[in-house]
Amino acid sequence: MANGLHATRRGVLAGAGAAALLAASRPARAESVLKIGVLGVMSGPAASWGLVNKYCAQATAAMWNEKGGVTIDGTAYRIEIVPIDDKNDPKLAVSGAERLTEQDGIRYIIGPNVDTTAASVRPVAEKNGAIYFPYAFSKALYTPPAGNAVLGMIASYQAGPIIYRFLRDSRGVKSVAFVARNESDPLNQRKEGVEAAKKLGLNVVSSDDTYEGGTTDFFPVMSKVVSGKPDLIVLSGVAPADAPLLVKSARELGFKGQLSTETAQDAKVLREGAGNAADGFISVGGASTPEIASDYMNRFRDRYARVAGEWNDEAGTKVYALEIILATLQKAGRGAIGDVAAFKRTIDTFSMRNPFLREDKPLAYVGTAYFGQKRQIGVPMVVNEFHDGAFRTLFIGSVE
Amino acid sequence: MSGSYVIAPGSPPARTPLRHVAAAAAIGLLLLLAVPLALGRAPYWLDVLTNACILSFASLGVWVTFAIGRINIAQGAFAMIGGYTTAILATRFGIGFWFGLPVSAAVAAVAGILLGLPILRLRGVYFAMITLSLTEAVRLAFLSLGAATGGGTDIVNIPTPAGIGSPLAFYLLAAVLLLLGLLAVWRLDASRLGAVFRAMRQNEDLAASIGIDVARYRVIAFAVASAMGGAAGSFFAVFHQNIFPASYTIQDSVNVMLYCFLGGLDFVLGPIVGAFLLVIALELLTALQQYQALLYGVLMIAAMLFLPNGLLRLRLARLRRGGETP
Amino acid sequence: MEQIIVNGVVLSATYALVALGITLIFSIMNLLNFAHGQILMIGGFMVYYVYGVFGLPYAVALPVAAVVTGLIGFGFEVLLFRRVVRVATREENSMLLAVGTALLLENLALFGFGEKQRGVPSIVGGVYRVGAAFLPAGRLLVVLIALALIVALLLFVQYTRPGRAMRALAQDREVTYLMGVDVERISALGFALGAGLAGIAGGLLVTLSGVNAGIGTALSTKAFIMIMIGGAGVVAGAILGAVVLGFAEAVGYALIPGSTTYLLIFVGLILFLVLRPQGIMGKPQR
C-alpha cells in the first residue's frame, strides 16, 4: 500500500534523525541532563501547531548537544526534549503537565497551543512551580496574579495594528473586512483586530463573517466578504492550512485588494495551495527569509528539516523558546534549573543578541505594556509579503 | 434481520442488591483506600485516575441510554452545559461548587428533557447521528451566545471547591462521585425502572403495547444520562478552573460512548472498566510519543476484533459460539 | 445572487459524492462509518502525490485514489468488520471498530504524509463568468466529473447484477442470503465501492481545498448530516441531502450574519427530524 511505503520512508527519516540525535549527544553523555517539556497538540486537525514546537525544540537541542550541551555554572548539561501530545484536550493537557512536572521533574515547558489548554495548565504550573511558554494569546495567562506563563510569540493584537498602519500609510488602505474560523481563539483575535482597525480610522466593512473548521469550499464565505469591496481583507488567526484556500478563493472571486493575517504561514503551503494567487499576501514570519537570517538560523533550518522531514516557515516564529530558555538559565545559574523563582528574577534584566538575525539586534523579554509584567519573548515582528513562491520581508517591528 | 437487536443471551438478570453492595464496597476500598495509599504522592497518576473516574461517571450516564437501546453521542454537550452552569454560578454570582454541582446536574437534566422529547423519537443510527450533531450544535451555540452578548465565551479563574485544593482531594472527590453514580445506576438497573428499560431496549413497540409509557421512560433515561454528563462537566470546570466552547468536542462524546462499548454494554461496570482501561492505556502509550495515537487506534481495533462484546464478556467465554447467522 | 447558486451547485456536487459513499456502506452493513472522512483524506493524498508531486496526469491520479481507497475499504471489510459483525451480539459494537480504523488511518497519514497542508495545481486555469458570478474552470470540471460519477453509480446500482444485489441486501439481508446471493462478496464489494467513492471525493476536493491529515472527522460529521437529511441507506436520499446541505451552506454564508449558519443548520436538522424521523427518502424506522 502506498501510504504504508511512505510511512516507512518517513519512519526511516525519523529513525535516522533519532540516531543522529543520540550520536550527537554521546560526547556530552557523562554530564548531567537538562529536561525540557513540549506540551501541545500533535495529532488531529491542529497537529501542525504542536509538532512544529516539538521539531523546533528537538532541532535546537540537537544543535546544542553537538557542541557538548549547554553549560550552566561550569557544568555541561545534555538537553533532552520530552514531548507530550495533548490533542487540544484540556484533560490531557493537565495530566500531561502533571506528568512533565512531577514524573520527569521538568520546570520549563514549551506550549500549549490554544487558550483552552493553556488556561487548564495554569493551576498545575503554579502549584508545581513550573514555567510554561504558551502559543495562546489570552491576556489572563500573562497578567498578574498569573506569573508562570511566558507568551512564546507575537500576539495578534500586537502585530495587527502595526500591519494595518503600514497598509494604511503606504498602500492606501481605507476599508477593511475581517474573516475568522468559528472558534474561540480566532474570534478573540478578530475582536482585537477590529478594535485596532477602528482606532486607526479604518472603515470596518464587515466583521462577523466566519467559517467552520472542516470547510471544504471557501467560496461561499469569501463571496460575502468580497462583496463588501474592502481594500483589505484580514484573515484573523488563520491556520496555515486555511490561508491559501481563503486567499485563492478571494482572488478567484475577483478581489483585487490587499490580504493579510497576523499569524505565521508557510511558503510551500501557500505555493501549493494558492500559487500566484497568494502574491502580495502579508503575514507574520520568523527570521527565516534569506535577507535577514543569520548563519545560525540557516543551520537551524537544515537541522529542522532533518528532524521534521522538511522545513516549515511556521518554525521561524517558534525557534525562540528553547534558545531563550537556555540562555536565561545560563544567566540565572544552576539554581534556576530546579527553581523557577531565580528564572523569574532574571527575566526582568535578561538580554542577549538575537542569534537568528544577521543584524545585531537584542533579544529580551517584553510585554509590560500589555500584561503589566515581562511575560513575553521579545520575538522580532517580521512582516513578510509573499511573492513568486517565497516570502520577502517588508519590515521588522518590535513589541515593548 | 439487519438492524434488529439481537437479544443478548446473557442479558443480566436483576441481581440481588446485596451483591451490588459487596461489589461497591470492594470498588470503594480500591478507589478510596488502595489508590490513595499507593499513589497519594504521585499527583500525575492521581490526575489520570481523576480523569478516569469522572469520565467513567459520564459514561455511566451514556450507559443508561444504552440501556434503553439508544446510542448517545451527546455527553460532551451536556458536560459543556453543566460546566458553564457551574462557571457562571461561581464567577458571576459567587455560588460555589458544592451548590453549583447539583444545580449544574439539574440544568443539564432539564436541557436533556427539552432536547430529548423531540430527538428520542429517533432510533438506531439516526439517534446516534443526531446526538453527535447535538454536541457540535451546543458548542456553536455557546460560541454564538458569547458573540451575541458582547462578552467573551471563555470563563477563566473559576475558584476551586471549598475544602478541595490538592490533587489527592480532587481525586477523592472524583472517586466518591463515581461510587455514588455507580450505586445509583446499579440501584436503577435492579429496580422496576431497570426492567422497564430492558424491555424497551429489546423491543420498544412491544413494550408500548403492554402499556409502558415508552415516551416518558425514554425521557427519564435521557435526563438521568444528561444530569450525569452535567455533573461531570461541573467537576471539570472547577478542576481545570476554566471553561471554553472548545472544552468539549465531538471527540469527547465519541470517547465516552466508546468506553461503554469497550467495557461491555450488558454490564453496569462496563463503562467504568472501559474508561479506566482506555484512559490509562493512552497515558501508558505517551512514552511512545508519535506512535501513541497510532497504537491507541490499533488497540481499539484489536479490542473489538477479539472481544466484540466488550471486555466483561471475556468471562462468559461464549465468543466462539457467537451467532453464525449472517 | 448568481454567485449563491453557483456556490450551492459546486458544494452539492462534491458533497453528494461524500454522502453516497457513506450511505452505500451504511445500507449494506448497517454501519456508521466513522472512518469515511479519513478514507476521503487518503484519496486526497493519493492525488497529491500522483498528480501534484510525481506530475502524472490528473486522469491517472483520480483512478489511483479510487483504487487505493477501494482496496482499503475492501481490506477493512474482509479483515475486520466481517468478523465483528458476525460475532457481536449487538451490531452497533462495530462502531468502536470504525472509530479505531479512523484513528489508525489519520495517524498513519500524519506519520507518513506529515502535518502540513498539501495542495495541487489547478487542473485547468481560467475563470468563467456566469451572469455576475465567478466560476473558475477547475470548479466547473470538478462538478462535471462528480455528476458523471453520480450518474454512473446510479446506473450501476440500478441495472447491474451486483448493484441489484446491493439494493436487495440493503432491504433485507436474510432474504437476500436465502435467495442465494453471496452476501459476503457483495458486502466486501459495497464497502470497497463506498470507500472508493470517498477516495474520489477526496481526489476531487484536493483540487479545490487541498488536504491534510486531520480533515477527516469534520467531513464525516458533514456526511452524517447529509444522510440524516436525505434518509440513511437510500442512494437518492444521499444526493438530496447533499443538495440541501450544499445550498443551506451557500445561502447561509451569504445571507445570515455572523457565525450562526451551521448552528441554524443543526437546529433546522433537529426540527426537521422531529417531523420526519427517517429523513426525506428513508424507509420508516423499525
- Write the pLDDT tens digit of every residue in A192-248: 899 999 999 999 999 889 998 888 889 999 999 999 999 999 999 898 889 999 999
The alpha helices in chain B, defined as continuous H runs, are 17-29, 35-39, 43-67, 75-93, 97-119, 124-148, 167-190, 192-202, 204-209, 214-240, 250-263, 270-284, 292-306
Closest residue in A to C107 (Cα) is A43
Residues of A in contact with C113 (CB under 8 A): 3, 6
pLDDT score at A19: 46
| Cβ-nearest to C42 among A3, A219, A268 | A3
Q: How far apart are CA B207 and CA B239, in angstroms?
A: 42
How close B188 comes to chain C (CA, Å)?
A: 22
C-alpha cell at A253: 472571486
**Rounded average pLDDT over C40-46:** 97
Q: How far apart are CA A372 and CA A321, in angstroms?
A: 21
Q: How far apart are CA A118 and CA A93, in angstroms?
A: 8
ipTM at complex level:
0.91
Does A14 touch chain B if contact means CB atoms closer than 8 Å? yes
Provide the 8-state DSSP code for B34: I
Q: What is the per-residue burial (b if ≥16 Cβ within 10 Å, else e) of A347-383?
A: beebeeebbbbbeeeebbbbbeebbebbbbbbbbbbb
pLDDT score at A20: 46
Does B251 touch chain C if contact means CB atoms closer than 8 Å? yes
Q: How do residues A29-75 score in pLDDT, each as one tens digit?
A: 456 999 999 999 998 888 889 999 999 999 999 999 999 999 999 99
Residue C63 has pLDDT above 60, yes or no: yes
pLDDT score at A4: 38
Interface-testing mutation among C72, C135, C259, with chain A (most A C-beta atoms within 10 A): C259
Q: Which residue has the cell 534556576?
A: A336
Measured in residues, chain C has a length of 286
Closest residue in A to C256 (Cα) is A209
Residues of C in contact with A263 (CB under 8 A): none
Residue C92 contacts residue B71 (beta carbons within 8 Å):
yes
C-alpha cell at C79: 479483515
Closest CA to A117 of B56, B87, B243: B243
Full-model pTM: 0.90
3-state secondary structure B109-143: HHHHHHHHHHHCCCCHHHHHHHHHHHHHHHHHHHH
Q: Mark yes or no for CB contact A119/B47 under 8 Å.
A: no
Q: Which residue has the cell 537570517?
A: A293
Q: How far apart are CA B233 and CA B58, in angstroms?
A: 9
Q: How crowded is residue B199: how many other Cβ atoms within 10 Å of its Cβ?
A: 18
Measured in residues, chain B has a length of 326
Does B133 touch chain A if contact means CB atoms closer than 8 Å? no
Closest CA to C36 of C224, C209, C238: C224
Higher pLDDT, A311 or C84: A311
How close C127 comes to chain B (CA, Å)?
A: 35
Interface-testing mutation among B55, B243, B279, B286, with chain A (most A C-beta atoms within 10 A): B286
pLDDT score at A355: 94
Q: Mark yes or no for CB contact A95/B292 under 8 Å.
A: no
Q: How far apart are CA A258 and CA A237, in angstroms?
A: 17
SS3 of residue A107 by DSSP: coil
Does A204 touch chain C if contact means CB atoms closer than 8 Å? no
Mean per-residue pLDDT over chain C, rounded: 90
Residues of C in contact with B298 (CB under 8 A): 100, 104
Residues of C in contact with A1 (CB under 8 A): 68, 71-72
Lowest mean pLDDT among B141-150, C188-197, C258-267: B141-150
Q: How far apart are CA A10 and CA B178, in angstroms?
A: 44
State yes or no: cis peptide before A112, omega within 30 of 0. Answer: yes
C-alpha cell at C106: 489519520
Residues of A in contact with B247 (CB under 8 A): 90, 116
Q: pLDDT class for C274, splitting at 50, 70, 90?
A: confident
Domain ranges of chain B: 35-249
Interface-testing mutation among C89, C94, C107, with chain B (most B C-beta atoms within 10 A): C89
CA distances from A85 to A43, A345, C118 (A): 7, 30, 22
pLDDT score at B151: 57
Q: How far apart are CA C282 and CA B123, in angstroms?
A: 13
In the predicted model, residues of chain A with pLDDT beneath 50 are 1-29
Lowest mean pLDDT among A20-29, A230-239, C82-91, C228-237: A20-29
| Cβ-nearest to B130 among C90, C228, C278 | C228
Residue B133 contacts residue C221 (beta carbons within 8 Å):
yes
Residue A232 has φ and ψ, to the nearest 5°, of -135, 135
Q: Mark yes or no for CB contact C263/B1 under 8 Å.
A: no
Q: How far apart are CA A21 and CA A32, in angstroms?
A: 16
**Chain centroid to CA B243:** 19
Does A166 touch chain C if contact means CB atoms closer than 8 Å? no
> What value, to the nearest 5°, has the Cα angle with vertex A267 and ends A263 and A273?
95
How close C2 comes to chain B (CA, Å)?
A: 29
How close A190 comes to chain C (CA, Å)?
A: 12
pLDDT score at B19: 77
Q: pLDDT class for B321, splitting at 50, 70, 90?
A: very low
Q: How do residues B274-304 score in pLDDT, each as one tens digit?
A: 999 999 999 998 888 778 888 888 988 988 8
Residues of B in contact with C94 (CB under 8 A): 304, 308
Q: How far apart are CA C143 and CA A356, in angstroms?
A: 48
Q: How far apart are CA A101 and CA B317, in angstroms?
A: 43
How close C218 comes to chain B (CA, Å)?
A: 9
Residue C174 has pLDDT above 90, yes or no: no
Interface-testing mutation among A13, A51, A209, A217, with chain C (most C C-beta atoms within 10 A): A217
| Cβ-nearest to B294 among C83, C108, C274 | C108
pLDDT score at B149: 62
Does B262 touch chain C if contact means CB atoms closer than 8 Å? yes
Please, which residues have CB within 8 angstroms of residue B302's CB and are 6 or more apart in sequence?
Answer: none
The edge-to-edge listing of strands for the beta sheet with A390-397 is A203-211, A175-181, A232-236, A258-264, A282-285, A381-387, A390-397
Residue A57 contacts residue A36 (beta carbons within 8 Å):
yes
Q: pLDDT class for B150, splitting at 50, 70, 90?
A: low
> What value, to the nearest 5°, has the Cα angle with vertex A56 and ends A52 and A62?
145
Q: How many Cβ contacts (< 8 angstroms) between chains A and C?
A: 151
Higher pLDDT, A359 or B113: B113
C-alpha cell at C185: 462478496
Q: Mark yes or no for CB contact C232/B126 under 8 Å.
A: yes
pLDDT score at B21: 80
Q: How many Cβ contacts (< 8 angstroms) between chains A and B?
A: 98
Q: Mark yes or no for CB contact A119/B154 under 8 Å.
A: yes
Q: Mark yes or no for CB contact B6/C91 under 8 Å.
A: yes
Q: What is the CA radius of gyration of chain C?
A: 19
Domains parsed from chain A with CATH numbers: 2-149+320-355 (3.40.50.2300), 156-288+383-397 (3.40.50.2300)
pLDDT score at B67: 92
